[in-house]
Chain A
Amino acid sequence: MIETQSLGKTYGRGLYALRDLNLKVDRGEFAFLTGPSGAGKSTLLRLLLLEESPTEGEVLVAGRNLSHLTRDEIQAYRRTVGFVFQDFKLIPTKTIFENVSFVQRVLGRPVEEQRRNTYQVLKWVGLQHRLNALPQELSGGEQQRVAIARALVNEPHLVLADEPTGNLDPDLSLEIMNLFRDMNARGTTVLVATHDRELIKWVGRRVIQLDHGQMVGAAEPQA
């Protein structure tokens, strides 16, 4: 599903964020991306979301090289990927229902379908009773569940998450991880960047370890 070939990203003069990175995440896999701060986890996710372009090498997602996409193609590609951010990135002036239904709306889906899908996905994350609340009226865990609902509403084949539990307490973190496990069980490829070792241990999936922009280890699922 995801493949990087000799991927490199530098900032300024020779400051490597990623260096000669070759990794693969298979279709339907759930993998963690881990490493200390500055290891290059977020940079890799930014490259996968095309927020930035690589300095060297290639990124392929579902067999498609992301290097030569036009501005409109980038937007179309992003609509096929679900993304969950540490700081939730919800639109504060829209209700949670609108935050989620918006990504359906821009696909031009019929209104009835938008409503049905939005309701179903918010029900799946357990927020069907807060449809008209504004993001700031929700707890951190609830806001992250809205963000997950938004990432999933278009039924993407790939979900990327950058420190999705970084702002949450341990119990809420487990709750969020359960949602990722559930979506993976439905066939979605999931790549989660986190430095929370306990969480990784608890979920027990493949771990890709980065340090100073290079892959320094890959551990198979733990029990």
Chain B
Amino acid sequence: MTVVGYALEEAWLSLRRSGRSALVSIGTIAIAFTTLGGFLLISVNVQDVLDRWLQAAEMSIYLHDTASEPDRLALEQFLRTQPMVAEVEYVSRERALERFRNDFPELRDVTTGIGENPFPSAFEVRLRAGNGGDAEADSLSSEVAGKPGVSDIRYDRRWLARLVGIVTTARLAAALVAGILMLGAAFTVAAVVRLSLYARRDELEIMQLVGAPFTYIRGPFIMEGLLLGGIGAAVALVAIAILYSMLARWLGSDLAGFAGIGQLRFLGIAEFVMMLLGGVGVGAAAGTVASRAVR
């Protein structure tokens, strides 16, 4: 505790003395972590949307108008016995029309003008997530396509899988950018710590000559880096919170509505703690590297 207390005391004094350079360093860390936090925020919300869409992914099996009742019943029986099928719902032509009218009341007149019901009857099949994945769904789809009475099959997961691929690539690119920014931030912290090391070189020489342990000599510089990183990350979290609340107020309901999720989500406790620890870690590592100049 004595070493930590001493390091904290000295690091705080040094930060106050270094003034502008410390502010620049905190700013750089804050920018890096705001970018990282922004990516994280977008990532958790996109993941929510994807999860929701993946969960709701359906296979729609459209039937010919001429499909007989026994064909329909046989198909339903077949679907219910498939292990990857979670739920099967039969939507008759009448129900499909009614659903359309309810979902799009402004287009109600269009359907009354046509005269005949244009909607085919269909089975809406919800598949279980995981297990065989797309290959199993493909095989089910081709098996169903050969059944009597089936006119067409639509399967949402194919384009969702492509979307997941794009999102994963975007995430990797974002992580790379954040990593580069983080590296830049670490170099800035190391430069500031090195500056204060230089400013206190006489003091360090005296400390060495009176036999101060290296934990006392290097500790304040590691602590300085740690404080710079921690404060920078904390500033970034505040900035992200402000940006998020502004975005949620102006665009939140539109975005959430478009994405089909209840509301936009902010970072959780785990992400918060992770970012703070990340800042502290990057700062401490930079401080440690810089303090190794004292031998």
A72 touching B214 in the complex, CB below 8 Å, given contacts A91-B203, A93-B203, A105-B2: yes
Most chain A CB within 10 A, of B202, B207, B212, B216, is at: B212
Residues of B in contact (CB 8 Å), total 17
How far, in whole Å, are A106 and B2 apart by their CA atoms in the complex? 8
Interface string of B207-218 (1 = CB under 8 A from A): 111111110100
Whether the pair A106, B211 counts as a contact (CB closer than 8 A) is yes
Whether the pair A75, B213 counts as a contact (CB closer than 8 A) is yes
Most chain A CB within 10 A, of B6, B206, B208, is at: B206
When A and B form their complex, what is the total count of cross-chain residue pairs whose Cβ atoms lie within 8 Å? 52
Nearest A-chain residue to B199, judged by Cβ: A93
Instruction: State the Cβ distance, B137 to closest chain A Cβ, in Å.
Output: 65
Residues of A in contact (CB 8 Å), total 24
Whether the pair B214, A90 counts as a contact (CB closer than 8 A) is no
Most chain A CB within 10 A, of B13, B203, B208, B211, is at: B211
Residues 52-100 of A at the B interface (beta carbon under 8 Å): 71-72, 75-81, 83, 85, 89-93
Instruction: State the Cβ distance, A40 to closest chain B Cβ, in Å.
Output: 20
Instruction: State the Cβ distance, A185 to closest chain B Cβ, in Å.
Output: 24
Task: Report chain A residues within 8 Å CB of B206.
Answer: 89-91
The residue that B210 contacts in the complex, of A72, A78, A92, with Cβ under 8 A, is: A78
How far, in whole Å, are A79 and B212 apart by their CA atoms in the complex? 7
Instruction: State the Cβ distance, A135 to closest chain B Cβ, in Å.
Output: 11
The residue that B214 contacts in the complex, of A71, A80, A81, with Cβ under 8 A, is: A71
A206 at the interface (CB under 8 A from B): no
Task: Report chain A residues within 8 Å CB of B202.
Answer: 89, 91-92
How far, in whole Å, are A48 and B293 apart by their CA atoms in the complex? 24
Interface string of B37-59 (1 = CB under 8 A from A): 00000000000000000000000
Instruction: State the Cβ distance, A153 to closest chain B Cβ, in Å.
Output: 10
Interface string of A32-66 (1 = CB under 8 A from B): 00000000000000000101000000000000000
Task: Report chain A residues within 8 Å CB of B2.
Answer: 105, 108
The residue that A83 contacts in the complex, of B203, B205, B209, B216, with Cβ under 8 A, is: B209
Whether the pair B211, A79 counts as a contact (CB closer than 8 A) is yes
Whether the pair B210, A79 counts as a contact (CB closer than 8 A) is yes
A150 at the interface (CB under 8 A from B): yes
Q: Report A's interface with B, CB cutoff 8 A.
A: 49, 51, 71-72, 75-81, 83, 85, 89-93, 102-103, 105-106, 108, 150
If A79-B211, A93-B13 are given as contacts, then 17 extra A-B residue pairs at C-beta distance below 8 Å, sorted by A number, are A49-B209, A75-B208, A75-B213, A75-B214, A78-B208, A79-B210, A80-B211, A83-B210, A85-B209, A89-B206, A89-B209, A91-B203, A92-B202, A92-B203, A103-B210, A103-B212, A105-B2
| A–B complex contacts, Cβ < 8 Å, 21 sampled | A72-B213, A72-B214, A75-B211, A75-B212, A78-B208, A78-B209, A78-B210, A81-B211, A83-B209, A89-B202, A89-B205, A89-B209, A90-B206, A91-B203, A91-B206, A92-B202, A103-B210, A105-B6, A106-B211, A106-B212, A108-B2
